Amino acid sequence: MIHVPVELGDRRYEVLVGDGARGELPRAVAERLPGARRAAVVTQASLTDQSWFRDVDPGLPFEVHTVADGEEQKTPETVEGLCRAFTRMGLSRADVVVAVGGGVVTDIAGFAAAVHHRGTAYVNLATSLLAQVDAAIGGKTGVNLPEGKNLMGAFWQPAAVLCDTQVLATLPPRELACGRGEMAKYAFLTGDRPDASLLDLPLDRQVAACVAIKARVVAADEREGGGRAVLNYGHTLAHALEAVSGYDLRHGEAVAVGLMYAALLARRLDRIDDARVDLHRRVVGAFDLPTELPPGADALALLSFMTRDKKAHQDLTFVLDGPKGVEVVRGVDPADALATLAEMGADR
C-alpha cells in the first residue's frame, strides 16, 4: 500500500493507494475518528451491485444511502435529501460519512458532510480513476447550479482517502479515459518537460504520482487563494462544455479539450510558441483523449459560462502555460477567448 500525506497541520491526513485499499476503511475510521459511533455510507445503486461492495465496512454500525448516477445529480436538492436522511438515522457531528464512489459521489457526500450539523467528518473511498487522481483529494466539495458547475460548495477536508486500484478493473473504458484527462493535466504540473511517462508506471504508481502532485499544491494553498488554481488547468473551458447542454463529453474528455484550448489561447497571447502547442497536442493525444471541440460548439454560450468561473474576480480568468510554467492569468480579453474558440471550430 502506498501512503501519500496531505500536510495540513492538525488536519493532516493520508491517501492510501493500492489493490484492496477498501480493506483499510475500518482502521482508517478507528484511528482518525475514535469517537465515531455510527456511519452513513453514501454511494450509488449501481455500485452496490458490484461484488467488491460487500467488503465495504467502516467498522461501525452503518446505513447505506444511495444517490442516482450522473453529473445531473449534483444538486442542492440531493444534498438536502442526504442531510435529512442523516438526521433520521441519528447521525451526530461526532460520527462519520463515508463516500464510496467516483467524483460525483465524493463531491455530493463531502458537501453534505460539510453542512450536516455544520460539519461532520467524512472519509472518501474513491472507486473511479478520476476520483482517485483528483476529485477525492483536497477537500473541495460541492454541487452544480443551472448557472454553472460547482458554484455551491465548501472546503471540507476528508479525514482519510482510500484509493482502491483493484476496483478500477470493473470500470468501462470510457470511465477510465475520464480519469486520464486529469492525469494529462498533471503531466503539465510537474515542473519538468510534460510527457506521457505516467502511463509507463504501474497503475498504483500512476495514481500515487498524481495524488502527490495535488497534495503538494493543496498543502501550499488549501483554499485556492493563489497557487491552487493551477489545478484547474484546462477546466475553465471544460466546465463550460459540461454546463452547456448537448455535448457528449465526460469530465476528463472535456478537460483534455480544455487543455488544448488553453494552449491555443496562450499562444494567441504570446505566452508560448507553436512548438509548445504541438507538445500539448502530443501529450494529450498520448493519453488517448480528444483535442477538438465537439461539433456545433457555440462560442458565445461557452464564453458566457467561462465568465462565471470560480477563479474569476470580475474578469475573465484562465490558467495558462507560459515562460514560468502554468499560472493564473487574469483580465483576458473576451475577444481573444472568442477568437480561440473560433480557431478550434466553434460557431460564432
Residue holding cell 515542473? 191
What is the rounded distance in angstroms from the CA atom of residue 78 to the CA atom of residue 108? 8
What is the rounded distance in angstroms from the CA atom of residue 309 to the CA atom of residue 147? 10
C-alpha cell at 188: 503539465
Which sign, positive or negative, has the C-alpha torsion 248, 250, 251, 255? negative
Burial category of 135 from C-beta neighbours within 10 Å (exposed 0-12, middle 13-18, buried 19 and up): buried
Residues identified as active-site:
118, 140, 182, 214, 224, 228, 232, 235, 239, 251
- The answer to whether 56 and 32 have CB atoms below 8 angstroms apart is no
What is the rounded distance in angstroms from the CA atom of residue 348 to the CA atom of residue 345? 9
Q: Got the DSSP string for 19-33?
A: TTGGGGHHHHHHHH-
